[in-house]
Structure 1
């Protein structure tokens, strides 16, 4: 038996209540990524951890999360997406408890790896369940809410992290940033049990063990240099990984072709890889996410190190961005499945205008940060992102057949994760190269560094616009 179809879902479940549960779990994962960065200094001080071990609090999570996205998506197709979603919530929540109670850095890093595994198991199911809940014309609104969740998490994480650490609840310093996941995880689990549609999956699809290994090795070969090089510098052992990455990727594709020819299980069905809609939606989604999270990473450095803002003040400064995404979620819901190409074009133009406006605001910034100068451009950029993410998700997932939705969702998010890693490495590299050896509080140096980094973000927006102008983007119902 396959998952519940969108035609059946309205009669059996409250669709929007089910989506609220998916968004709650997705938000719990996304905010955990951003909130940890704020707590790193407190963790290092309390645990007396070496810098190379502290970095693994983030790196361990990143690697386990990225490596399991694709196989976890396929497991949802096989064993049922609600079942995998709930299993992911349980693993993530229990790992959060261990993180919050960790007596030392080793336990914390290990728990973060397991936490990343739980996040990877539940995350592809959140997107894959949308087609099971909604008819094509209604999916735009749901995907728009996922964009809103991402925008809110990027801003809320630093704010909530700063508040929790400053409050020092019961003398626990940084530990509440993990413990707060426990009631949220319990609520999400109960909500999934009551509201998310049941489905048994299709176990006839089978498990592609060799494909899982090849895909994992290829992801590692790409991500390890990208994630580690900014922290520890480029090392000689990274070169073999860079050289091996394309060969491993080629080997994975050839293996999938071999499996397809023999009519055996495939981790990523090649009918997806051959689809123009899937490739275009996935690649542009990765490009978009290579710019936006990286932009928030660099703007936080600009505001906090360059101008002395606290994490809370920095987060509040960027709040108009998720407000723009929120407004866009209503607009993109009205569009439904119509005019995908023009929505990507318009969203790319607005996103580019937001980045360009930020460059103007940064260039004219004096000795104090002016919220009024920056706020309109954050709002415009957020509105542009909100109008771009939804059609790109729709485009990519429209290529998947019912039994392949989890695999497609996992692949799109794995590609997106690579895009984020590329963006942080490239945009962060540009920022620090332009900054040179400048000291904290050197307004002029941080201004030049921020302007240099924004150049990459503007280039990504241009790619979105040019691709939408020169290529065809239509959904099956168009």
Structure 2
């Protein structure tokens, strides 16, 4: 089916659009908070439920794994039938599973509830991105994604601080339960607003609306077998080398998935993923850049809280507060970036990555060079620099990634972007934390200078996210060069795009 038609947004006007958008962003923030605030609660969960390092890893990575598996089928169902209905289903399930996490009597129940919570998050998140595509176009869409990026940045960076405060209120033994109880009243309130404010109708592709169940299963198997060996990586001596065989199984599932999807589309049916989307350079490069960026930044937050709590002995609330400066500066630059992306395009993202890398290098230096009592303050200052760059990366990249995607494909296109982010997060967290803990295992026994061991662990592990940010920068530079070539070709051939939209050219 041709990818050129861009149906207009559903006729929901004025303030009503922004009210619906506010509901979507609030729920997205609630979802993302659970990717960061729970990190601070891991020592409390370990003490309360006698969890080992593998189980603690699964609390973080298992959520991301389930999140990633649910995204594409949920996004496809929202595109084909109703984003509002899927949003309400996901939000209801997220609220219920949060309550189950809060009352978990043992680590096994918590792990199960946490994975189900990840599935619920994966149901609702692609509807958010699809609805933003549906509600806004042009410059308004850039502003909307700027606000979306600012909110997500604040939620990601404030998560550790919020988690630390809740643990301080609830106590070291059971304070982690408040991390999940918080979602319950907020989820109920958001559900009531969503019923009233979200649009009831949406445009659909012409033709028969079919759900590609075989394609969805093969894609899910591909994502699962790729993420699982990273989820099972803890950095401890018990890590089995056989887990990497899952990557071979992943290769088989990917080949089967591609073959099936091509056959399914040739039969005139609607596949789970339209490969024509990946021929759009802005979309393809935006996915790669976002995956690398999300592999890096959440792992840095987790490493920072582990280093400050376990290495330097700071309370969870103080360890979490280091990221407040990142949240504030990233929120400001995300809002600015949403307004400037139409003018500067990919250049804005490249600038943001350079600043972000600089800030995180300063975080590393602040952690390992000065005395411990100064480290936390200097790390917070460096986080402000990193956040200023991060705000110019996430929301402008989101706008550029989805700029040429038809509204009818907004949910599945957005869900693929989220899959890349969740896969990136799982891989980045696993790689960084495994190096962190393996350094501790290797140097810890018999070492009297415990702080020096944690310095080494933090330094060695931070090289992973820094390398991933470097990869994101390379992708950004390559995409910038591609856009310049397209613009030069268009100038030779004559005007091909509206004035003021240099980064929405067809590749």
Task: Give me the TM-score of the superposition, normalised by structure 2.
Answer: 0.86
Question: How much has 1:469 moved relative to structure 2?
Answer: 3.1
Query: 1:256 is matched with which residue?
Result: 261
Query: 2:229 is matched with which residue?
Result: 225
The answer (yes or no) to whether the contact 1:4–1:132 under 8 Å persists in 2 is no
Give the direction of change, closer, same or farther, for the CA distance of 1:455–1:238 in structure 2 (3 Å limit): closer
Does structure 1 residue 415 correspond to structure 2 residue 420? yes
The answer (yes or no) to whether the contact 1:294–1:427 under 8 Å persists in 2 is yes
What are the Cα deviations for residues 101-154 of structure 1, in whole angstroms up to 9, with x where unaligned? 334444333322321121111011111211212122122232233333333233
Equivalent of 1:328 in 327, 333, 343: 333
What are the Cα deviations for residues 294-314 of structure 1, in whole angstroms up to 9, with x where unaligned? 111111122222211111111
Question: How much has 1:329 moved relative to structure 2?
Answer: 2.1
Mapped partners of 2:391, 2:135: distance in 1: 21
What are the Cα deviations for residues 272-299 of structure 1, in whole angstroms up to 9, with x where unaligned? 1222222100010000111100111111
Mapped partners of 1:53, 1:377: distance in 2: 32
Does structure 1 residue 9 correspond to structure 2 residue 12? yes
Give the direction of change, closer, same or farther, for the CA distance of 1:237–1:382 in structure 2 (3 Å limit): same
Query: 2:139 is matched with which residue?
Result: 137
Equivalent of 1:18 in 20, 23, 44: 20
Give the direction of change, closer, same or farther, for the CA distance of 1:444–1:329 in structure 2 (3 Å limit): same
Equivalent of 2:431 in 421, 426, 430: 426
Equivalent of 1:107 in 101, 106, 109: 109
Question: How much has 1:23 moved relative to structure 2?
Answer: 1.7
Question: How much has 1:213 moved relative to structure 2?
Answer: 0.8
The answer (yes or no) to whether the contact 2:61–2:426 under 8 Å persists in 1 is no
Query: 1:69 is matched with which residue?
Result: 71
What are the Cα deviations for residues 185-222 of structure 1, in whole angstroms up to 9, with x where unaligned? 01111221222222256383310011111011111111
Query: 2:494 is matched with which residue?
Result: none
The answer (yes or no) to whether the contact 1:341–1:472 under 8 Å persists in 2 is no
1:278-317 alignment, distance < 5 Å: 278-317=283-322
The answer (yes or no) to whether the contact 2:346–2:400 under 8 Å persists in 1 is no
Give the direction of change, closer, same or farther, for the CA distance of 1:106–1:372 in structure 2 (3 Å limit): closer
The answer (yes or no) to whether the contact 1:4–1:197 under 8 Å persists in 2 is no
Question: How much has 1:45 moved relative to structure 2?
Answer: 4.4
Question: How much has 1:15 moved relative to structure 2?
Answer: 2.8
1:206-245 alignment, distance < 5 Å: 206-230=210-234, 233-245=238-250
The answer (yes or no) to whether the contact 2:40–2:305 under 8 Å persists in 1 is no
What are the Cα deviations for residues 89-108 of structure 1, in whole angstroms up to 9, with x where unaligned? 01111111222233444433
Equivalent of 2:460 in 448, 452, 465: 452
Which moved further from structure 2: 231-240 or 117-126? 231-240
Mapped partners of 2:427, 2:57: distance in 1: 18
1:355-434 alignment, distance < 5 Å: 355-434=360-439
SS in 2 for 1:205: coil
Does structure 1 residue 462 correspond to structure 2 residue 470? yes
SS in 2 for 1:229: coil
Give the direction of change, closer, same or farther, for the CA distance of 1:227–1:441 in structure 2 (3 Å limit): farther
Stretches of structure 2 lacking an aligned partner (at least 5 in a row): 484-501
Mapped partners of 2:60, 2:296: distance in 1: 19
Mapped partners of 2:253, 2:461: distance in 1: 31
1:21-60 alignment, distance < 5 Å: 21-47=23-49, 55-60=57-62
SS in 1 for 2:370: coil
Stretches of structure 1 lacking an aligned partner (at least 5 in a row): none
Equivalent of 1:340 in 342, 345, 352: 345
Which moved further from structure 2: 94-103 or 210-219? 94-103
The answer (yes or no) to whether the contact 1:80–1:202 under 8 Å persists in 2 is no
What are the Cα deviations for residues 382-417 of structure 1, in whole angstroms up to 9, with x where unaligned? 111111112221222224212211010111101111
Question: How much has 1:336 moved relative to structure 2?
Answer: 4.4
Mapped partners of 2:87, 2:6: distance in 1: 13
Give the direction of change, closer, same or farther, for the CA distance of 1:89–1:338 in structure 2 (3 Å limit): same
The answer (yes or no) to whether the contact 1:320–1:375 under 8 Å persists in 2 is yes
- What is the RMSD computed on CA atoms of the aligned residues? 2.7
What are the Cα deviations for residues 10-65 of structure 1, in whole angstroms up to 9, with x where unaligned? 34x52332222112111211112323333344445444566655654445433321
Does structure 1 residue 89 correspond to structure 2 residue 119? no
Mapped partners of 2:415, 2:421: distance in 1: 10
Mapped partners of 1:294, 1:50: distance in 2: 20
The answer (yes or no) to whether the contact 2:57–2:231 under 8 Å persists in 1 is no
Question: How much has 1:71 moved relative to structure 2?
Answer: 0.9
Query: 2:496 is matched with which residue?
Result: none
Mapped partners of 1:8, 1:295: distance in 2: 42
Task: Give me the TM-score of the superposition, normalised by structure 1.
Answer: 0.91
